[in-house]
Structures are given as structure tokens and as C-alpha cells.
């Protein structure tokens, strides 16, 4: 399975975000991750649909939008119009999940669900067949630079088994402190989409194209190593 690189745009150089989007596009990443926060669900602000829309013309890559907000379903139209390719709803703040997923699909966009570290996988059971991606948070949502929560490796493996046993085609994304120290654990457990922030990508080189090459090499080594 191809491992997809999904840079977290809030960790890019925000003073030249359009150029960063273009450079990541040219460097061959697979998607771009946009965290939207409202200062309510988490005590932080982040990117907005307006910022995403301003960057849309710099790349044709899918924009993967993570709505870390208190009422994700109420912003589906705004992020769709801003150019989202995948909209991921925070499971814990979306009470009417099936309706929200349907709303996303009606806009011709892929739907995903994000699950917090303390939420059990059983809460995903009824929605799995409806979504294209599950994001397993490997830190508590809201801030960069936290410690990776290691029990999430078993959670990823359990989710991969459920998906494979049912013969479903659902991406498993991991978000939070994904870097060279954690690549092998999350990939071997079955994650195939990696959200990469400062430690995983942007701090590796001043040249973003070079940073992507370094990461691709680290991931390739992990994948080939796991088959030895």
C-alpha cells in the first residue's frame, strides 16, 4: 500500500503560504492538511476557509480539511466552497454524524472522521461503511509539539484489522507527532496517510523540496524494512 504524505499547513511558513503550497505540490506530496480551529472546542485558532481559498490556485492536490471545531457540520458549505477535497469531522463534536457525512457527499467531496485518543473504536462502527478516511489522533487535538501517545499504535492496528476483515477501502490517517521516531510503528500498524508537521517534515530542511525527499526516503526505508 502506498504511504501518502500529507503536510500540515499550519506548520508551514505562514508568511508565504501560497508559495509553500506550490513547493509542496512540486515536491510530490499527496495531499495538504488544513486544521481549522475555533478557539472553543480547543483553546487555539488555526487556519480558516478564507486562507484555504486564497491558496487553492497554487496546487491541484486534494485539500484535506480537519474541522477541530465545536460544530463541524455547520461549516461544511464554507470549507467545500473553499476547495476542500476531503472534509474530516471530529467524531466527538458531530452528534448527527451520518447526516453530516451525507451532506459532504452531496457536495461531491470525500468524507472522513477524526477520532480522539480517548474515544474507543466502537464509536466508529456504524459510520465506517460511509466514509473514505478515518483519522486516528495520536496526540490530543489542538496543539503542535505534544508527545505521541503510544497506545494509539494498537488502536491503529485494531482499526486496520476491522477494515481489512470487512474488505473495505478506507484510508487510515494518523495525526500528531508523526516523524522518523514514529513512522515504523504507525506504518506497521496499518496507517497509510501521514500528517506531517514541524518534527516530521518542515524542520528537516530550509528547502521544502529537499525536506520532502528526506521524508520519502525515511518512509521507503521503513516500508522496505518491514518486509525483510
Q: State the residues that interact with Zn ion by CB under 5 A.
A: 35, 66, 175
H or E element: which one contains 112? strand 110-115
The minimum distance between CB 126 and Zn ion, in angstroms, equals 23
How far is the C-alpha of 168 from the C-alpha of 3, rounded, in Å?
17
- Helix, strand or coil, per DSSP, at residue 194: strand
Identify which of residues 66 and 155 has a Cβ nearer to Zn ion in the complex: 66
Tell me if 104 sits within 8 A of 76, measured CB to CB: yes
Tell me if 110 sits within 8 A of 135, measured CB to CB: no
Q: Which residue is nearest to Zn ion (CB)?
A: 66
Is 35 assigned a catalytic role?
Answer: yes
Output phi, psi for 35, to 5 deg.
-85, 125
Output phi, psi for 171, to 5 deg.
-70, 140
The minimum distance between CB 224 and Zn ion, in angstroms, equals 28
Please name the residues in contact with 99: beta carbons below 8 A apart, sequence gap of 6 or more: 73
Longest CA–CA separation in the chain, Å = 48
Active-site hit among 26, 35, 165, 220? 35
Identify which of residues 171 and 175 has a Cβ nearer to Zn ion in the complex: 175
Identify which of residues 31 and 208 has a Cβ nearer to Zn ion in the complex: 31
The minimum distance between CB 228 and Zn ion, in angstroms, equals 32
Output phi, psi for 20, to 5 deg.
-65, -40
Closest alpha carbon to 111 in 135, 93, 92, 95:
135
Query: Cα torsion for 104, 105, 110, 114, to the nearest 10°?
Result: 50
Active-site hit among 38, 64, 171, 175? 175
The minimum distance between CB 114 and Zn ion, in angstroms, equals 7
The minimum distance between CB 221 and Zn ion, in angstroms, equals 25
Identify which of residues 114 and 215 has a Cβ nearer to Zn ion in the complex: 114
Identify which of residues 61 and 227 has a Cβ nearer to Zn ion in the complex: 61
Residues with active-site annotation? 35, 175
Amino acid at each position: 500500500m502506498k504511504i501518502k504524505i500529507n503536510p500540515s499547513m499550519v506548520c508551514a511558513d505562514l508568511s508565504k503560504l501560497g508559495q509553500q503550497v506550490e513547493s509542496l505540490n512540486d515536491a510530490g506530496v499527496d495531499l495538504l492538511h488544513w486544521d481549522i480551529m475555533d478557539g472553543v472546542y480547543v483553546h487555539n485558532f488555526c487556519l480558516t476557509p478564507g486562507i484555504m481559498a486564497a491558496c487553492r490556485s497554487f496546487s491541484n492536490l486534494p485539500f484535506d480539511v480537519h474541522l477541530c471545531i465545536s460544530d463541524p457540520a455547520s461549516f461544511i458549505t464554507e470549507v467545500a466552497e473553499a476547495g476542500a477535497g476531503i472534509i474530516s469531522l471530529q467524531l466527538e463534536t458531530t452528534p448527527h454524524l451520518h447526516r453530516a457525512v451525507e451532506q459532504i457527499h452531496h457536495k461531491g467531496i470525500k468524507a472522513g472522521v477524526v477520532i480522539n485518543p480517548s474515544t474507543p473504536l466502537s464509536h466508529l462502527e456504524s459510520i465506517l461503511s460511509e466514509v473514505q478516511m478515518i483519522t486516528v489522533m495520536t496526540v490530543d487535538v489542538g496543539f503542535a509539539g505534544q508527545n505521541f501517545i503510544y497506545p494509539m499504535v494498537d488502536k491503529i492496528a485494531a482499526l486496520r484489522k476491522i477494515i481489512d476483515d470487512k474488505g473495505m477501502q478506507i484510508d487510515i490517517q494518523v495525526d500528531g507527532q508523526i516523524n522518523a521516531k514514529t513512522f515504523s510503528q504507525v506504518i506497521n500498524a496499518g496507517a497509510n496517510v501521514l500528517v506531517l508537521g514541524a518534527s516530521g517534515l518542515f524542520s528537516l530542511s530550509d528547502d521544502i523540496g529537499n525536506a520532502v525527499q528526506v521524508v520519502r526516503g525515511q518512509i521507503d526505508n521503513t516500508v522496505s524494512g518491514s518486509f525483510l
